[in-house]
Structure 1
Amino acid sequence: METERTDRAGTALLLVALAGLAIGLALHAGGRGGAAALAWTAGVLPVLAALLAEIVRGLRQGEVGLDIVALLSMTAALAFGQALPAAVVAVMYSGGSFLERFAEGRARHDMSELLARVPRSAARYVDGRLEDVPLDAIRPGDRLLIRQGDTVPADGRIASASAFLDMSALTGESMPVKLGAGAFAMSGATNAGAAFDLEATCGAGESTYAGIVRLVESAQRSKAPMSRLADRWSLGFLAVTLAIAGAAWTASGDPIRAVAVLVVATPCPLILAVPVALVAGLSRAAHFGVLVKGAKPLEAMARIRTLILDKTGTLTDGRPQIVAIDSHDGTAEQEILRLAAALDQGSKHPVAQALVAAAKARGLALPLPEAIAETPGEGLEGRVEGRAVAVGGDGFVARLAGEAAAADAGGRSPGEVHVAVALDGRAAGRLVMSDPLREGAAEMLAALRRQGIGRILLATGDRSEVAHQVAGGLGLDGIRAGLSPDQKVLLVLSERKDGPVMMVGDGVNDAPALAAADIGVAMGARGAAASAEAADVVLLVDKLERLIPGIEIARGARRIALQSVVAGIGLSVLGMLAAAFGHLSPVEGALLQEAIDVAVILNALRALRIAPRDLPGPAVG
């Protein structure tokens, strides 16, 4: 609400300034100079009041910006009867502020659908019936029903025979975990199996998920604020302006010369060119599926030197894939996969869905299964084309086949899942599944290094042996495994000594680190809402390589903004010197500044045409 009020107030200021300028010009053209001056003054005063409040707020926070030059120029112009130049400066200043707010507002609007996935209620047993209650109504001892696909709303213990939970958003474990009766379940996990009952051990506000949310808020509060590129030029430009204006007044004895210097010095190349270039960069980045939440994050993105990557769903695909098929009785590998996938069409288990997707990707036609019976967390059995088929864990399939569980040939690599298959009561084979690296991961990391990133680390909550097995050959500068959310935050903070840090992740456990990093990047297509909310950048397509054009566009937009600033300030200094020697009146100075503005804005708009070299095709739009 506060942001919306600020946006409305800023829009109103721009409209008032424009109306005052337009009405004053109309009155002046009609020969009513006194009324024109009043109209111009009326358009300037609200802008002056808002500008003064903004400057006071910044000074209390220890910030000095270019707004001071705009305040001085408008105040001096009004004080010495130069209302028209003051009105022109008011329009230019309020227009630049409007552009920055427009960019941030558009990013907030684009985020609304991503954040709509946050759970709001839970199903609680009350007097033998179920009722939906808000999360904050959950109390210790409450018995909750966790349906398939639900997010566990509070920490608790399994009150059913078993539960099958997807913990990837919390721990980075890509494969679902089976928990028995009485086992502890963390909030934020997703039910990947049949519905089960949970006995809450705490309220939702004291749960693991709520603790992560609080950690996100704490990280955001402690995060170093990103300053505008324009503000980093402010003190030097302010000193030069005051020196030239003071020298002109002292040498000539004419205060109007100082007013003319201040009007020409109004930092419109900074106030206008920088947001125009960055807003254009935001638009261009969105064209490639990279949503940046405002101009400040885009600018900061251009200066990143260290990149920290999560593993599951970021560096890897986050979905298990078939890496091998072992046949025990001579059955063709494709036939084992076809029959197993056909039966798995009757299950919503993530591994079953992955098998079906793999079979379809290989062009296999899958018949409809019959007489399906699923044992949650263990496997399922049924009939396919008249044949008895069983798919699941080694123990489950061995019991159905009346055999001892087959031993793993050659052992099991870290992070692998083995799915046993029985046909007509006999063990037929095993499907080996894993969560491999994204295709082209090594080339992607090399391209990121070409963008100026000197240090790349892997940070994951997964086990150390899994992390090294998956990413050991990528030439990373470090692998940190088994990290909790707060340990990821500490890693981000410790890496800041080498320069600005970017963190990329997609799970709930990544959200605090995303909030603490100079730039947090969330995988928005399948990632958790908490990570998308905490991040500064969201990749709208599930492709980490989209980060490459995003960084290239950010660097290009910043470079174009700097070019506009240097050229604009150079021309402004020349104009200030001309005004100091009496060659420009305040009105002429305002018109000259308008011409400079047009030139730098046209240059800034070149950011709309930035063409990333590493990724020529757009992702969206």
Structure 2
Amino acid sequence: MLPALVLVLAISAAAWLAGRHDIADALWIAATGAVLAVLSVEIVGSLRRGEFGLDLIAALAMAGALAFGENLAGAIVALMFTGGEALEAYAQRRAAREMTALLGRLPRTATRYEDGRLCEVPLDDLAPGDRLLVRRGEVVPVDGTVDSPSAALDQSALTGEPLPVRRAHGEPVLSGSTNAGDAFDLVATHAAADSTYAGIVRLVTAAQQSKAPMARLADRFALGFLALTLLIASAAWAFSGEAVRALAVLVIATPCPLILAVPVAIISGISRCAGRGVLVKDGGALEGLAKVRTVLLDKTGTLTGGRPRLVAVRTRNGLTPDELLRLAASLDQGSAHVVAEALVAAAQEKGLALEPPEEVREDPGAGIVGRVGGRRIALGGWDFVARQTGTGSFDAEIADWTQQPGTVAVAVTVDGELAGALMLADEVRGEAGGVLRQLRRLGVSRILLATGDETRRANAIAQGLGFDAVVSEMMPQDKTRAVVAEHANGPVMMVGDGVNDAPALAAADIGVAMGARGSAASSEAANVVILVDRLDRLTDAMRIARRSRAIALQSVYTGIGLSVLGMIAAAFGWLAPVEGALLQELIDVAVILNALRAIADPPQDAAG
């Protein structure tokens, strides 16, 4: 509507300058009437929903202007109001939290054994007891048990753990896991609707629907400001007997400083966050960032980097650490396992010359054997390597060395003899400690680590970082319950990156997704998405949000103060309605310029 209104007012200005005041008047009436009609419908709808806003003052001003023939004043109010709504609509038109990414990952069909044949059947047709085939790379469609000798599964979407796990015959498998190895058979233990992954979808949907939208900041001043406006307008009319004074009061009271300044400050803050690689989806999310008092942090991919890295090497039989790494990485070139990728990357960083492997045979999730430069190499877990050498035990010193919380050990044999071990860990981000300290400075009183890791590993990761509590061994529903429980301590922020975090992100007052490598589902469920792989962007965004909110409130208080002074002047007859409308425009310009400081004067950014 704004472009059409601007065009009409431009034509009316040209008509007035050309001496055709009748055409100008008609256009002013038409423009004001059109805006008033649309606004009236919106106000009726809001009142039916039990919502009350400052739009009512603008409607009274436009209706009064038309009633008393102050058509230019009405057109000016209509322009101010429409411009304010356009700015606010721009601030609110952000990515809708649709579940397309999450639902797109959920399988629609499954491969079921029927009378010795394989048939593709809809997911809803599956029942407990059905025997299914899960191919390499497919998402497990329902909860079940392994009906093959073994299965290698990537459960990172459910537990957040970056390392695939191996499940033996008869062991349980969760829907939503990805087959990281060869095809295996699965016996369904639940129907699709009752399985883990479908439950995550329902949790996110329910949490989003139950969270009420945040009211516009300006509307919080509505009742008091409306009462004051009507009091001054009524007093002016009663004591002077001139209705035009009451109209002038209404015109100058039109809350454009509130309607305009708030979205401008919010848009500026959102733009500033985007410049730091943080997508804030709407104005309510920006304001929420400024008010957070409790923060829950996921571990894998959030507090840590989410990918294993080589942290130490132990050798024996005269091998150097670099030579052991070179042999292991050369063989691992034949594997797509996440640990293999980490070892190859570590060798390449050191500039080691890798050889092509031969006769490679991989047991998914367990280990790999083959030849490198004529030597027979085996690497993997202790049990796997022991089977390759025919011995049941290895060097006790190396075995004890690998038993450290938060690490994964890869044993290596060369020509049937234990040559050493490689230790990998999903390390805590270098900026994590500083981020937690900054959160305290920004007013956060409670910080928790929420992870699916076992307790010992979680405590080891959190040691020395200053968490108020560590909650471990959590499934998605546990994280959601933890978020809900923390609401008693004030506004809650949840920070995560996996599908398993999506329900908790949706349940929190502010959900923040690590979107650089995180799941699409978490980004959809979150209010804020960090687009770069840096945790310190979180505190940058919070600092920007606090400053933007402070500037918005400053603009509101200044605008209201100036409007009240103008209303008093109008009540005494010192300002006509048109003069009041023009004065209100000057107030608008002042508060908007102040609001623009949210982007023109950048805050002090966090290091990095």
Tell me, in whole angstroms, the C-alpha distance in 1 between the residues paired with 2:594 and 2:466: 40
Aligned to 2:249: 261
Which of 447, 455, 460 is matched with 1:464 structurally?
455
- Shift in Å at residue 49 of structure 1? 3.1
Aligned to 1:609: 600
Check conservation: 1:97, 1:271, Cα contact below 8 A. Answer: yes
**Residues 154 and 54 from structure 1, CA distance in 2 versus in 1: closer, same or farther, beyond 3 angstroms?**
farther
Which of 406, 411, 430 is matched with 1:439 structurally?
430
Check conservation: 2:88, 2:260, Cα contact below 8 A. Answer: no
- The Cα offsets for residues 206-245 of structure 1, whole Å up to 9 and x where unpaired, read as 3211111111222222224322221122222112211111
Tell me, in whole angstroms, the C-alpha distance in 1 between the residues paired with 2:47 and 2:347: 64
1:532 matched to 2:520? The reply is: no
Which of 564, 575, 582 is matched with 2:573 structurally?
582
Check conservation: 1:556, 1:610, Cα contact below 8 A. Answer: no
Check conservation: 1:166, 1:192, Cα contact below 8 A. Answer: yes
- Shift in Å at residue 419 of structure 1? 0.8
* Residue identity opposite 2:280 in structure 1: V
Check conservation: 1:154, 1:200, Cα contact below 8 A. Answer: yes
- The Cα offsets for residues 3-47 of structure 1, whole Å up to 9 and x where unpaired, read as xxxxxxxxxx32343333233323333333333333223223343
Tell me, in whole angstroms, the C-alpha distance in 2 between the residues paired with 1:154 and 1:163: 15
- Number of matched residues? 604
Q: Map residues 12-411 of structure 1 onto 2, 5 A cutoff.
A: 13-108=1-96, 118-119=105-106, 121-122=108-109, 124=111, 144-406=132-394, 407=396, 408-410=399-401
* Residue identity opposite 1:269 in structure 2: P
**Residues 147 and 84 from structure 1, CA distance in 2 versus in 1: closer, same or farther, beyond 3 angstroms?**
farther
**Residues 542 and 424 from structure 1, CA distance in 2 versus in 1: closer, same or farther, beyond 3 angstroms?**
same
Tell me, in whole angstroms, the C-alpha distance in 2 between the residues paired with 1:583 and 1:314: 61
Tell me, in whole angstroms, the C-alpha distance in 2 between the residues paired with 1:326 and 1:130: 48
- The Cα offsets for residues 406-449 of structure 1, whole Å up to 9 and x where unpaired, read as 25225612332221111122111111222221113212211221
TM-score (structure 2 length as normaliser): 0.93
Tell me, in whole angstroms, the C-alpha distance in 2 between the residues paired with 1:344 and 1:113: 36
Q: Once structures 1 and 2 are overlaid, which stretch shifts more, 281-290 or 478-487?
A: 478-487
* Residue identity opposite 2:245 in structure 1: R
- Shift in Å at residue 76 of structure 1? 1.5
Check conservation: 1:284, 1:610, Cα contact below 8 A. Answer: no
Q: Secondary structure at the match of 1:418?
A: strand
Aligned to 1:521: 512
- Which runs of no fewer than 5 residues in structure 1 stay unpaired? 1-12
Q: Once structures 1 and 2 are overlaid, which stretch shifts more, 314-323 or 485-494?
A: 485-494
Q: Secondary structure at the match of 2:596?
A: helix
Check conservation: 2:99, 2:521, Cα contact below 8 A. Answer: no
**Residues 144 and 428 from structure 1, CA distance in 2 versus in 1: closer, same or farther, beyond 3 angstroms?**
same
1:477 matched to 2:477? The reply is: no
Q: Secondary structure at the match of 1:329?
A: coil
- Shift in Å at residue 505 of structure 1? 1.0
Check conservation: 1:485, 1:510, Cα contact below 8 A. Answer: yes
Q: Secondary structure at the match of 2:37?
A: helix
**Residues 154 and 262 from structure 1, CA distance in 2 versus in 1: closer, same or farther, beyond 3 angstroms?**
same
* Residue identity opposite 1:31 in structure 2: G
Tell me, in whole angstroms, the C-alpha distance in 1 between the residues paired with 2:107 and 2:28: 51
**Residues 130 and 536 from structure 1, CA distance in 2 versus in 1: closer, same or farther, beyond 3 angstroms?**
farther
Tell me, in whole angstroms, the C-alpha distance in 1 between the residues paired with 2:525 and 2:290: 19
Which of 541, 544, 567 is matched with 2:535 structurally?
544
Tell me, in whole angstroms, the C-alpha distance in 1 between the residues paired with 2:31 and 2:119: 57
- Shift in Å at residue 461 of structure 1? 2.3
Tell me, in whole angstroms, the C-alpha distance in 2 between the residues paired with 1:228 and 1:607: 18
* Residue identity opposite 1:326 in structure 2: R
Check conservation: 1:167, 1:177, Cα contact below 8 A. Answer: yes
Aligned to 1:10: none
The percent of aligned pairs where both chains have the same amino acid is 58
**Residues 400 and 411 from structure 1, CA distance in 2 versus in 1: closer, same or farther, beyond 3 angstroms?**
closer
Tell me, in whole angstroms, the C-alpha distance in 1 between the residues paired with 2:152 and 2:308: 16
**Residues 197 and 549 from structure 1, CA distance in 2 versus in 1: closer, same or farther, beyond 3 angstroms?**
same
Tell me, in whole angstroms, the C-alpha distance in 2 between the residues paired with 1:252 and 1:234: 27
TM-score (structure 1 length as normaliser): 0.91
- Shift in Å at residue 135 of structure 1? 5.3
Q: Secondary structure at the match of 1:81?
A: coil
Tell me, in whole angstroms, the C-alpha distance in 2 between the residues paired with 1:214 and 1:114: 14
- Shift in Å at residue 203 of structure 1? 4.4
* Residue identity opposite 2:296 in structure 1: I
- Shift in Å at residue 483 of structure 1? 2.6
**Residues 30 and 611 from structure 1, CA distance in 2 versus in 1: closer, same or farther, beyond 3 angstroms?**
closer
**Residues 167 and 106 from structure 1, CA distance in 2 versus in 1: closer, same or farther, beyond 3 angstroms?**
same
Q: Secondary structure at the match of 1:302?
A: helix
- Shift in Å at residue 302 of structure 1? 0.8
